[in-house]
Amino acid sequence: MGRWEPDARGRLMAAAIELFLEHGFEQTTVADIAARAGLTERTFYRHYADKREVLFAGPIDLHALLAETIAAQSDSAAPIDAVAAALDTVGGLLQQNREGSRLRQRVIDANPMLRERELIKLASLGAAMADALRARGVTDPTASLTAEAGIAAFKVGFETWINDATDAHDLQHHVSECFDQLKAVTAGR
């Protein structure tokens, strides 16, 4: 190994995505990823439990961020608006790396096991938001329905954003449009 360089976690993620796109997820090993990043396998395992987690473990706890943002909304905020605010916060983080998000999604879309893992992650984020809504006094099924609807709006907005060849709008714009459409649909318009 060469001289120490910063951002091992970011280098591992970049190396993994490159290799997953070049050789496929199944054919890429942790040893391959570590070597491409100029690190050891031991360093890889200090940052990630396995090679899937390179794609799903972010630098911050999204569950906590969503819950904190929902809790911080005014008491008068409608549940859907609290969820929209929380997902807007997450969108702001993802917005910082549009091309990285596109590449990550290409890897996920190419592998059924990763698509399943993505759905599990979205479901767990939805559950965290439903719990945060319940903590605000929102009862079920409203808390669960609102959180699930929010995840659906975010997912569609995210897909629109990464497939927007013009790059004319940021992620928050696309997600906000999806929330507006969701509200229109539920209002019967």
pLDDT of residue 51 exceeding 80: yes
Domains and CATH numbers, the chain: 8-55 (1.10.10.60), 62-186 (1.10.357.10)
The mean predicted confidence, pLDDT, of the chain is 93
Q: What is the mean pLDDT of residues 92-113?
A: 91
Confidence band of 3 (pLDDT split at 50, 70, 90): very low
Confidence band of 83 (pLDDT split at 50, 70, 90): very high
Confidence band of 186 (pLDDT split at 50, 70, 90): confident
Confidence band of 168 (pLDDT split at 50, 70, 90): confident
Any residues with CB less than 8 A from the CB of 124 and at least 6 apart, and which? 63
The pLDDT of residue 2 is: 47
